[in-house]
Amino acid sequence: MLLQLKVVNYALIEDLTLNFNPGLNILSGETGAGKSILIGAINLLLGERAAVEQIRQGQDTAYVEGMISCETAVKNQISDILKDAGISDGEELIIAREVFRTGRSVARVNGRAVPVSFLKDIGTYLVDLHGQHQHQSLLHADQHLELLDSFGGDDITAVRERVSELYDKWQAQKKELSLLGANSAERERNIDIAAFQLKEIREADLKPKEDSELAQREKILANAEKIFTLTARAYADIYAGEEGSPVEALIDRLNRSSKILAEAANIDQSLQPLLDMLETASAQLDEASHELRDYQSKLEFEPNELAVIQDRLNQINSLKRKYGGTVEEALAFADKLEAEIERLQNSEALAEQIEKEIAEQEKRLESESSNLSSLRLEAARRLEKLLEECLEELALPNARFQVQFVDKSSYSPKGMDKVEFLFSANRGEDARPLVKIISGGEVSRVMLAIKTILARQDLVPTLIFDEVDSGVGGATVQKVAEKLVQLADHHQVMCVTHSAQIASMADCHFRLYKETEGDRTLTRAAYLKETEIREELARMLDGASIDQVSLKHVDNLLERAHRFKEKTAT
């Protein structure tokens, strides 16, 4: 439920914090006091469009924050959504929205920035707002089947679960058959394709790491002349010397240096380690020159070898592109092809068995789906009757509510039905889709009736009614008040009202009022205590004049409210 609402620099509100209670929370006040401003602020938390005009004059930003406690049922519904967004799902959610003068809007959930659309995604499970605004689950036709099934109770739930299980198994069997091939001709085609691919790989006689070895050999062959020239120069520098050049070979100069140093070492024995190093270097140079000579002698090139290697590399690379990124992956793919061919060759009998199972499963699915449709039709007729009776009590005596069924002619985890709620407020008018009802007051009363009937099944914890009493009076208002109390047994209910009858039922009552501070007008709110509640109810009954007569009337209202709430509690 909504525990706390904080609003800063939004319209006429400078800085306002309201702490709400379970049960029925009433918001009252003079026309224009700011009740609709609070509803607008809540709408921002539910992902509705923000407007620059909502920012308090002279300020750069407006800020709205709501603290919401999440019961287990709600947590189960939104935990995956929060997890996907990287948000921890604790006992409480802090939802915030900041609107900037530039037109930009920032949304956060538990401190993490989220798209505004995310607020709508989770808001659907947290708050249902009914009245002149559009955040109403009743106005989304895709929710009507869920509402009907909730009304149907355990019988529909049990059959729907069986339908879902049958559908999942049916789909799995169809997928298994599709992997075998839809029919014998398709399976033969799949075998031919797999056999062709296997033959192409096996005939290539691929060997692990062959491509890297050939690539290295190709590089050597492509640069053979350069390699020969460089190794010849290196050999000449080390051992042979350059013909016609006065410069001696490196090994000759090193040997001469060793002889010179040997004479010095005979005099100073400390030079012996240096002499040893030169003699070691001389031996290594000698060995290197011999290996260079051997390398050159082995440099033999077949005239067509480079072309042969390049052709082989092209073949290998082509197979790698088709069957994997490496030779090893192509070989592994060939192994899979062999297994697939064997499976397909033995699949005829398996396919026949699966086709038989699919037919049997479809019969069971059709039977259970038909059973589900029958239960839904029965529930729909009961719902229509109860709603029309309830709507008559809410000053809609000629209202007609209808659950329209559309046969989708296809199976789904929810059965074969698609339903939409139709409504007509006046005699002689055709029932039309509920989503096309224009009157906010009618929508509120229809939703109040539905919510009252479905209260125990409805998982949305907070219901907000914006002037649900609009256009009704007398005994009808009393019925509205009583139904709000019934709803408040199972939900947190917030109601914006001008009716003293409704307000008298409050478990928590706030009065919104305007106050002038300097040259600015501010919207403020007061949590009303017992005496203040009597005065506010008297104002709602008789306007500015509060006398003993009006207070006596208020006491009668409060006593009647107390008796009804006691009766409802029992």
- Give the pLDDT confidence of 473-495 residue by residue, as tens digits: 777 788 889 889 988 988 999 99
At 395 the pLDDT is 79
Residue 60 identity (one-letter amino acid) = D
Strand partners, 27: 496, 510
For range 112-123, the mean pLDDT: 91
Mean pLDDT of 154-168: 94
The residues facing 17 across adjacent strands are 6
Examine the pLDDT at 323 and tell me if it is beyond 60: yes
pLDDT band for position 183 (50/70/90)? low
Residue with token string 């009704």: 472
Quote the radius of gyration of the chain (alpha carbons, Å). 43
| For the chain, domain boundaries | 2-135+461-569, 210-338
Q: Say yes or no to pLDDT of 106 above 90.
A: yes
Most confident region among 169-173, 420-424, 470-474, 495-499 by mean pLDDT = 169-173
Structure letter (DSSP) for residue 50: P
pLDDT at 392 over 60: yes
CATH of segment(s) 2-135+461-569 = 3.40.50.300
Helix, strand, or coil here: 491?
coil
Task: Give the mean pLDDT of 434-456.
Answer: 72
Q: What is the model's pLDDT at position 135?
A: 47
Q: For residue 506, which of 547, 546, 536 has the smallest C-alpha distance?
A: 536
- Cβ atoms of 97 and 107 within 8 Å: the answer is yes
Mean pLDDT of all residues in 415-433: 87
Separation of alpha carbons 552 and 534, rounded Å: 9
Judge whether residue 569 has pLDDT over 80: no
Count of CA atoms in the C-beta half-sphere (13 A) of 519: 2
Tokens of 471: 């256009």
The first and second tokens of residue 204, run together, are: 């290539």
Indicate the pTM of the whole model. Answer: 0.60
Residue 302 has pLDDT above 80, yes or no: no
Between 198 and 569, the higher pLDDT residue: 198
Of 543 and 71, the one with more pLDDT:
71
Which stretches does DSSP call E strand in 179-238?
none
- Joined together, the tokens standing for residue 393 give 């009590």
Give alpha helix (H) positions in 35-100. Answer: 35-45, 72-84
Give the tokens for residue 219.
């590089």
- The pLDDT value recorded for residue 438 is 52
The answer, yes or no, to whether residue 534 has pLDDT greater than 80, is yes
Query: Residue 265's pLDDT is what?
Result: 87
Residue 301 reports pLDDT greater than 80: no
Position 228 confidence tier, pLDDT thresholds 50, 70, 90? confident
> How many C-beta neighbours within 10 Å does residue 379 have?
19
Report the percentage of the chain scoring pLDDT > 70. Answer: 93
Per the model's pLDDT, the better-predicted residue between 486 and 468 turns out to be: 486
Q: Which residues of 125-163 are buried (b: 16+ CB within 10 A; e: fewer)?
A: bbbbbbbbbebbbbbeeeebbbbbbbbbeeebeebbebb
Residue 103 DSSP one-character state: S
The mean pLDDT of 204-222, rounded to a whole number, is 86
Beta pairing, strands 92-100 & 105-109: antiparallel
Average pLDDT rounded to a whole number, residues 104-113: 92
% of the chain with per-residue pLDDT over 90: 34
441 pLDDT band (50/70/90 cuts)? Answer: low
pLDDT in tens, 263-281: 888 988 998 999 889 889 8
How is residue 49 annotated by DSSP?
P
Q: Is the pLDDT of residue 55 over 80?
A: yes
Give 394-409 pLDDT, tens digit per residue.
Answer: 878 888 899 999 877 7
Beta strands in 443-541 (DSSP E): 462-466, 492-496, 508-517, 520-527
Query: Residue 93 region, left (φ>0) first, then alpha (ψ -120 to 50), else beta?
Result: beta
Angstrom CA distances, 247 to 236, 241, 250, 371, 399, stand at 11, 7, 9, 106, 117
Phi/psi of residue 135, nearest 5 degrees? -85, 75
pLDDT tens by residue, 497-523:
888 999 999 999 999 999 888 788 899
**pLDDT higher than threshold 70 for residue 202:** yes
